[in-house]
Amino acid sequence: MSYLQRVSQHRIAPPALNGGETAADLIDTAFLSYNAGRLREVCQVFTRKLLEPDCTVGLTISGALTPAGLGMSCLIPLLRAGFVDWVVSTGANLYHDTHFALGLPLHQSRPNLDDFALRENDIIRIYDIVFDYSTLLDTDAFYRELIQSEAFARSMGTAEFHYEVGRYLHARATTLGQPSNSLLAAAFETGVPIYTSSPGDSSIGMNLAALALQEGNLKIDPLRDVNETAAIVYQAKRAGGKSGVLILGGGSPKNFILQTEPQIQEVLGLEESGHDYFLQVTDARPDTGGLSGATASEAMTWGKVDPDRLPDSVTCYTDSTIALPLLTAYALARHAPRPLKRLYDQREAGYDALRGEYLKRQAEGAKPDLSARKRSQA
């Protein structure tokens, strides 16, 4: 076999397009090279490997995806199909998701509007999305009233907070006899825990901060989230399964989902080797620091990705608003729905198991063990 044959996957000889192709067919046959090729690999690895029954799939969401309607068109179908088991999102995406649940409209527009005129007319702009300033005020009022209820009068992690919000939004939609159109409500319905890595960095967090000035009883515990997310990954791997991550964009959610492995290995000193599958859609670059530490190969050096699994790690440099609808259409066309894992219902048991393993090692005076890392690189 020649060296060309060893490095070649397929000869480039695609069929001519005829206009009747499905999105999945187009990706398989015409997305051959450059970032189109990487997007094809993301779709194929996600569908053929992450969606195997033994893989627990974590998703990160950054950038303004829900205002563009991608929560309704893509994220909710992925959750309901059992294709996403847990989520790390910016608070902003969940805040804007709530507009749709409350029937507060957002509109398509153009990116080159007169922002001074928009300001004078109380119109908010997110690039080419516009909506009335009252949408923010009404959503703020919703959260301020909701968090005064008894369900929120305690300390909780962000997954529990979002679950209670989703419970209300789901019940509201059911009472009104209409779709909730909400990622939060869908997560409640499917038992998918949603975490926010920076809970104070959004309008939801700002309204929670206002409640704190009134000495309310709600306290968000971000350290609980660190251990809960580590427990999700640890329990998935300890049960003989795999862990896969799909990263849309970057920011804090990207690091938060990846730091689960260093938390397990480096900090808690428990034996682990890294996420099995790493798929990333980003427009950032490693050489400017925007992607530093989070390419698959760099993440491997931190223990975030299993080095034996690097061939199943793909980074596609493109816009998430382009990639996500194509990935969703591809996965729904190529894979049957999976049974829901309902990881939210397993939070307490997973947390207690992780805590028990850690305390056991502490009592034994054990130090962090690097042997698993070294064995996996041998």
Active site residue 304: yes
Report the C-alpha gap between 24 and 134 in whole angstroms: 40
Tokens standing for residue 302: 């931190």
Torsion 19-20-26-30 (CA) sign: negative
Tell the residue number behind the tokens 């005129």, with chain if given.
117
Contact by Cβ (8 Å): 44, 277: no
b/e sequence 13-30, b meaning 16+ C-beta within 10 Å: eeeeeeeeeebbebbbee
Helix (H, G, I), strand (E, B) or coil at 129: strand
Q: Give me the catalytic one of 237, 242, 304, 341.
A: 304
Alpha helices in 88-214 (DSSP H): 91-101, 115-120, 133-146, 158-176, 183-190, 203-213
Helices and strands, number each (H, E), in the chain: 18, 11
The residues carrying an active-site annotation are 304
